[in-house]
Amino acid sequence: MKQFSFLYDPEEIRKIIREELQILQKNNSPPIDVKQDIFLDIDEASKYLKISKSTLRKKCQKMEIPCIKRCGKWIFNKKEITNWLLQGKQNSINF
């Protein structure tokens, strides 16, 4: 049986493996924490956006607003619709 000899010290190999694992962790996006996200139904979203439910449904059907349809019901991620609102925001003029 042949014996292998390493040019590296086992501690150096561990260090290299740790460094490679850290690089992999940095490159991967963090997992989505569903617990932190707030989801709204159509009633809550229409109140939050201050528009009627029928207008909101039309925007959903035209895919004008971020939403998901599950089991026949529209669901909204509050962060996503807040960002959607901010994207359409106009800058005010200072006098």
Q: Say what the pLDDT of residue 24 is.
A: 76
Which pairs from 80-86 meet CB under 8 Å and 24+ separation?
Answer: 81/40, 81/45, 81/48, 81/49, 85/49
**Is 23 contained in some domain?**
no
**Is 9 contained in some domain?**
no
The model's pLDDT over 18-77, given as tens digits with 9 standing for 90+, comes to 888 888 777 775 555 556 789 999 999 999 999 999 999 999 999 999 999 999 999 999
**Is 6 contained in some domain?**
no
**Is 27 contained in some domain?**
no
Backbone torsions φ then ψ of 75, nearest 5 degrees: -125, 140
Q: Say what the pLDDT of residue 5 is.
A: 64
**What is this structure's pTM?**
0.57
**Is 52 contained in some domain?**
yes
Count of structural domains, the chain: 1
Domain containing 44: what range?
39-87
**Is 16 contained in some domain?**
no
d(CA 57, CA 54): 5
